[in-house]
């Protein structure tokens, strides 16, 4: 087997043979991501309605559905409406702390069967298995979103405690909530936030996976006919909440 | 057409592909559609052109300091609890992965689409070791059931009709299903969902790896990448050594020009997470790449495996992927095959290009494929890998072109000798060169050559 030292030595030896390559530099990174991220937020305090309109337009282009409500409480009838039209009842969601509030009782009152995920990891393997089967059988998955990128209609979801990966993956209908603090205009701006999340080198509360979700799961592998929901959600619904959801 | 047999000459393989009426239609529809979609995407994205240059520069900057960025990547993957393995050859890569599978007691491995694992022929090795590999990308799943190999980098099953797929599912899955993409996809979803929930091992490639954060990035559209990296207990990512990018800022440039759905994985499940693999392994693969850091095919290390050059290539559009006979088809595939298997493996393929340059225009990082194909042709000629007749013709023409007086004389002699063969101003067939003239016309030597007219003009025009 090749060791790390051998592998690296070969690379260094080959790099040593290169001559006269034109100088090249990677993309310019934000020097102080926190300051730049705050600057983006400050700019968007003015421009957010345009960014939100762009997000709606791009999301719809990739087959997503957009909604806008005033408060977190108003999310419930929207979710209930989506469920009713699809004759769906079983809903799994991120933990209330990650979603910005406990929507469980209100969803139940609308005839849904909501189950919130636990706030952290679960020691018992049997319980983990039970939860996985529950998520796999659910029709609706309700999550938050860390970023909503206007130019591409992309939702960015970071995994972590109380925000399991499968909530937005296994159920056929994914519903994501976001507010103004998540909205950015471009992938370049999203890059500043990704730099910020990784800036101190420590993961903090973040989990190991960040997902960029651009519309429903789709394939064109059979005669290039576009088909939705091949593995992940068949439908992606994004609900913009005007009142701040978190903090 | 299924698997290409390399004992058959390329010309015959290509000929068979061109006689396959279905394949011809599928290729035309698929490549035309891809070209249209790409044009639409770039038209709606004005900074796209500038970002292509930025992306190319990032690739170059990373390659020039690959040692530094790779060390940084390794350090960060390990810091988050992942393990990094090094494989110089495909055999080493297979051994590393099988050992991981054995220690995990794995019986089944779910895979998301990965050209690197195709390149090392991982599936056969897994099967032999008693681990059932399941391709989960729909196109890859179809061709795995059919025991074939991908015919396109990003649309592996474009050579199959929905009718053929329905028959295949009927035979392999014992289920009757109408020949309708929607119904076929739904059946595959159900079958594969079971596998995702059962598998012990998840195997992926890596489109990028971010040195600064130790993050492996998978670009997918189906969501299978997220399944494979979240549900099984062990995740193995196989990455070509050139896939490193320095930072998240750089990554955003590539997501902008390539795809907008991606999974960013930073090591195994973290404390507090309900789900995610307990083990994360990164296998860094050389397989001929390191030799090219200072080699003639260096620029091909910038390739993102997007398949854009296949769709626009007049040769690929005629013969499809299988006729190339190797893991990577199309114009870039010729270069990658030479990189992986040496120039001897492409002595025929090096000529399977009209050098029209459509690939350079389509390439998101503007790789100069024709330039390297010419280099390759020179190399197979100089190393005496090319057939003798080709070498004799190239050597003598090269010699003649370097001697203007003899060249002029040869033109005058040819003007006389060509007479019996010229019809309507072109040579339609030529003894000894029948293969060449069968599909091409050679323009006849003009009654007055350019050089002759030029010297006349110079005499007529007073200085």
Sign of CA dihedral B66, B67, B72, B78: positive
Chain A contact present for B234, CB below 8 A: no
Higher pLDDT, B127 or B424: B127
What is the three-class DSSP state of B131?
coil
Q: To the nearest whole angstrom, how far is the Cα of A152 from the nearest Cα of chain B?
A: 7
CB contact under 8 A, B290 and A190: no
Chain B contact present for A165, CB below 8 A: yes
Residue at B99 is within a domain: yes
In this structure, what DSSP letter does residue A72 have? G
Chain B contact present for A223, CB below 8 A: yes
Clarify whether residues B419 and B393 are in a common domain: no
Determine the angle formed by the axes of helices B48-64 and B66-79, rounding to 10 degrees.
90
Clarify whether residues B33 and B66 are in a common domain: no
Give the model confidence (pLDDT) of B101-114 as tens digits.
999 999 999 999 99
Residue at B367 is within a domain: yes
The mean per-residue pLDDT over the stretch B400-428 comes to 88
Distance, CA of B417 to CA of A18 (rounded, Å): 49
Residue at B295 is within a domain: no
Nearest C-alpha in A relative to B249: A191
pLDDT of residue B463: 63
User: Pick from B104, B98, B109: which is nearest to B195 by CA?
Assistant: B109
Residues 6+ apart with CB under 8 A from B318: B14, B17, B18, B24, B27
Give the distance from CA B297 to its chain's centroid: 14
Clarify whether residues B70 and B39 are in a common domain: no
Residue at B293 is within a domain: no
In this structure, what DSSP letter does residue A118 have? P
Q: For chain B, give the percent of residues with pLDDT over 90.
A: 67
CB contact under 8 A, B270 and A18: no
pLDDT of residue A192: 97
**Which one of B263, B287, B311 terminates a domain?**
B287
Chain A contact present for B58, CB below 8 A: yes
Domain CATH code at residue B254: 3.40.50.10420
Give the model confidence (pLDDT) of A198-211 as tens digits.
998 777 778 999 99
Clarify whether residues B31 and B71 are in a common domain: no
Clarify whether residues B13 and B150 are in a common domain: no
Domain count, chain B: 3
The mean per-residue pLDDT over the stretch A39-54 comes to 96
The residue count of chain A comes to: 247
Distance, CA of A100 to CA of A130 (rounded, Å): 25
Distance, CA of B29 to CA of B320 (rounded, Å): 12
The mean per-residue pLDDT over the stretch A73-78 comes to 97
Round the average pLDDT of chain A to a whole number and report it. 94
**Which one of B357, B372, B402 terminates a domain?**
B402
Residues 133-152 of A with CB under 8 A from B: 136, 152
Chain B contact present for A203, CB below 8 A: yes
Chain B contact present for A42, CB below 8 A: no
**Which one of B384, B402, B420 terminates a domain?**
B402
Clarify whether residues B174 and B234 are in a common domain: yes
Distance, CA of A57 to CA of A64 (rounded, Å): 9
Distance, CA of B212 to CA of B208 (rounded, Å): 12
Distance, CA of B8 to CA of B25 (rounded, Å): 24
Give chain B positions within 8 Å (CB) of A32. Answer: none
Clarify whether residues B125 and B209 are in a common domain: yes
Question: Six-digit token pair at B435?
Answer: 């293969």
pLDDT of residue B2: 41
Strand pairing category for A140-143 and A173-178? parallel
Longest dimension (CA), chain B: 90
Chain A contact present for B3, CB below 8 A: no
Residue B147 CA neighbour count, 13 Å, CB half: 4
pLDDT of residue B451: 81
Residue B139 phi, psi dihedral angles, 5° rounding: -60, -45
Residue at B200 is within a domain: yes
Q: Which of A2, A25, A227 sits opposite B182 (nearest CB)?
A: A227
The mean per-residue pLDDT over the stretch B295-317 comes to 94
Clarify whether residues B328 and B343 are in a common domain: yes
* Lowest mean pLDDT segment, chosen from A26-35, B119-128, B218-227: B218-227
Clarify whether residues B176 and B315 are in a common domain: no
* Lowest mean pLDDT segment, chosen from B19-23, B88-92, B326-330, B387-391: B387-391
ipTM of the complex: 0.96
Distance, CA of B26 to CA of A75 (rounded, Å): 46
Distance, CA of B455 to CA of B270 (rounded, Å): 79
Distance, CA of A100 to CA of A69 (rounded, Å): 15
Give the distance from CA A142 to its chain's centroid: 11
For residues A114 and A96, the answer to whether their CB atoms sit within 8 Å is no
Q: How far lies B431's CA from each of A238, B398, B420, B426, B447, in Å?
A: 70, 21, 11, 15, 22
pLDDT of residue B158: 84
Clarify whether residues B103 and B18 are in a common domain: no
Higher pLDDT, A128 or B40: A128
Residue at B292 is within a domain: no
Give chain A positions within 8 Å (CB) of B136. Answer: 231
Give chain B positions within 8 Å (CB) of A128. Answer: 274-275
CB contact under 8 A, A231 and B222: yes
CB contact under 8 A, B263 and A161: no
Higher pLDDT, A19 or B277: B277
Q: How far lies A214's CA from each of A173, B72, B251, in Å?
A: 14, 30, 16
User: Pick from B197, B342, B207: which is nearest to B263 by CA?
Assistant: B207
Give the model confidence (pLDDT) of A131-175 as tens digits.
999 999 999 999 999 999 999 999 999 999 999 999 999 999 999
Q: To the nearest whole angstrom, how far is the Cα of A84 from the nearest Cα of chain B?
A: 22
Higher pLDDT, A236 or B44: A236
Give chain B positions within 8 Å (CB) of A10. Answer: 88, 286, 290
Go through the domains of chain A in sequence order and give each one's CATH number: 48-241 (3.40.50.10420)
Residues 135-164 of B with CB under 8 A from A: 136-139, 142, 155-158, 160-162
Higher pLDDT, B3 or A100: A100
Residue B368 CA neighbour count, 13 Å, CB half: 9
Domain with B346, as residue range(s), is: 1-46+301-402
Residue at B419 is within a domain: yes
Question: Six-digit token pair at A215?
Answer: 């519309």
Higher pLDDT, B392 or A243: A243
Clarify whether residues B24 and B79 are in a common domain: no
Residue A97 CA neighbour count, 13 Å, CB half: 10
Chain A contact present for B338, CB below 8 A: no
Give the model confidence (pLDDT) of B355-372 as tens digits.
999 999 999 999 999 999
Sign of CA dihedral B38, B42, B48, B53: positive
Give the pLDDT band (50/70/90) at residue B1: very low
Give the model confidence (pLDDT) of B158-213 as tens digits.
888 888 999 999 999 998 899 999 999 999 999 999 999 999 999 999 999 999 99
What is the three-class DSSP state of B104?
coil
Round the average pLDDT of chain B to a whole number and report it. 91
Buried b (16+ CB within 10 A) or exposed e, A77-111: ebbbebbeeeebbbbbbbbeebbbeebbebbeebe
Residue at B40 is within a domain: yes
**With 0-12 CB in 10 A as exposed, 13-18 as middle and 19+ as buried, what is A72?**
buried
Distance, CA of B341 to CA of B325 (rounded, Å): 12
Give the model confidence (pLDDT) of A19-41 as tens digits.
888 899 999 999 999 999 999 99
Residue A205 CA neighbour count, 13 Å, CB half: 8
The beta strand positions in B231-385, using DSSP E, are: 234-240, 244-245, 262-265, 279-285
Distance, CA of A215 to CA of A239 (rounded, Å): 13
Q: To the nearest whole angstrom, how far is the Cα of B449 from the nearest Cα of chain A?
A: 41
Res B3 pLDDT > 70: no
Clarify whether residues B223 and B75 are in a common domain: yes
Residues 6+ apart with CB under 8 A from B331: B309, B310, B313, B315, B316, B353, B359, B369, B373
Distance, CA of A145 to CA of A99 (rounded, Å): 9
């Amino acid at each position: 087997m090749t060791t790390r030292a051998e592998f690296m030595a070969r690379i260094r030896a080959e790099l040593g043979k290169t001559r006269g390559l034109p100088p090249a530099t990677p993309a310019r990174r934000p020097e102080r991501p926190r300051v730049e991220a705050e600057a983006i937020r400050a700019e968007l305090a003015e421009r957010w309605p345009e960014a939100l309109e762009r997000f709606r337009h791009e999301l719809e282009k990739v087959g997503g559905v957009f909604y806008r409500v005033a408060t977190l409480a108003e999310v419930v009838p929207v979710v209930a409406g989506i469920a009713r039209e699809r004759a769906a009842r079983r809903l799994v969601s991120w933990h209330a702390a990650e979603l910005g509030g406990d929507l469980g009782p209100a969803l139940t009152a609308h005839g849904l069967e909501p189950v919130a995920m636990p706030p952290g990891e679960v020691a018992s393997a049997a319980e983990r298995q039970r939860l996985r089967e529950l998520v796999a059988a659910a029709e609706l998955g309700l999550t938050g979103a860390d970023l909503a990128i206007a130019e591409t209609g992309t939702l960015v979801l970071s995994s972590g405690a109380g925000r399991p990966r499968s909530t937005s993956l296994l159920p056929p209908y994914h519903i994501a909530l976001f507010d103004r603090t998540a909205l950015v205009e471009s992938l370049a701006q999203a890059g500043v936030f990704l730099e910020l999340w990784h800036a101190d080198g420590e993961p903090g509360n973040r989990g190991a996976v960040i997902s960029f979700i651009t519309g429903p799961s789709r394939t064109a592998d059979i005669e290039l006919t576009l088909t939705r929901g091949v593995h992940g959600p068949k439908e992606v619904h994004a609900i913009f909440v005007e009142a701040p959801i978190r903090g | 057409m299924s698997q290409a047999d390399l004992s058959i000459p390329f010309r015959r393989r290509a000929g068979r592909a061109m006689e396959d009426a279905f394949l011809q239609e599928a290729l035309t529809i698929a490549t035309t559609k891809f070209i249209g979609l790409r044009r639409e995407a770039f038209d709606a994205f004005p900074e796209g052109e500038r970002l292509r240059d930025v992306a190319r520069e990032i690739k170059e900057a990373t390659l020039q300091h690959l040692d530094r960025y790779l060390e940084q990547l390794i350090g960060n993957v390990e810091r988050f609890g992942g393990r990094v393995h090094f494989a110089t050859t495909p055999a080493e890569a297979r051994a590393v992965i099988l050992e991981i599978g054995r220690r995990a007691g794995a019986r089944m491995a779910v895979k998301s689409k990965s050209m690197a694992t195709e390149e090392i022929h991982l599936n056969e090795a897994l099967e032999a070791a008693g681990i059932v590999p399941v391709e989960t990308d729909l196109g890859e799943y179809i061709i795995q059931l059919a025991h074939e190999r991908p015919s396109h980098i990003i649309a592996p099953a474009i050579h199959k009709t929905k009718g053929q797929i329905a028959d295949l599912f009927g035979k392999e899955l014992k289920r009757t299903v109408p020949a309708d993409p929607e119904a076929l996809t739904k059946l595959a979803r159900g079958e594969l969902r079971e596998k995702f929930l059962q598998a012990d091992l998840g195997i992926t490639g890596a489109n990028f790896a971010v040195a600064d954060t130790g993050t492996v990035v998978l670009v997918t559209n189906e969501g299978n990448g997220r399944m494979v990296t979240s549900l099984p207990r062990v995740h193995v990512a196989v990455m070509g050594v050139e896939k490193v990018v320095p930072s998240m800022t750089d990554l955003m440039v590539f997501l902008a020009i390539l795809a907008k759905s991606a999974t960013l994985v930073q090591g195994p499940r973290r404390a507090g997470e309900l789900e995610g693999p307990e083990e994360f392994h990164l296998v860094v693969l050389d397989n001929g790449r390191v030799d090219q850091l200072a080699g003639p095919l260096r620029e091909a290390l910038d390739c993102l495996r997007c398949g854009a050059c296949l769709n626009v290539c007049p040769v690929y559009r005629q013969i499809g992927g299988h006729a190339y006979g190797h893991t990577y088809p199309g114009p870039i595939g010729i270069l990658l095959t030479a990189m992986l298997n040496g120039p001897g493996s492409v002595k025929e393929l090096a000529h399977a290009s009209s050098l029209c340059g459509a690939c350079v225009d389509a390439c998101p990082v503007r790789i100069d494929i024709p330039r390297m194909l010419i280099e390759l042709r020179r190399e197979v000629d100089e190393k005496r890998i090319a057939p003798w007749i080709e070498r004799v013709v190239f050597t003598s023409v090269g010699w003649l072109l370097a001697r203007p007086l003899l060249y002029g004389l040869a033109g005058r002699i040819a003007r006389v000798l060509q007479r019996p063969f010229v019809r309507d101003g072109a040579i339609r067939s030529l003894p000894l060169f029948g293969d060449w003239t069968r599909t091409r016309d050679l323009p006849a030597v003009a009654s007055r050559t350019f050089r002759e007219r030029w010297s006349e003009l110079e005499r007529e025009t007073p200085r």
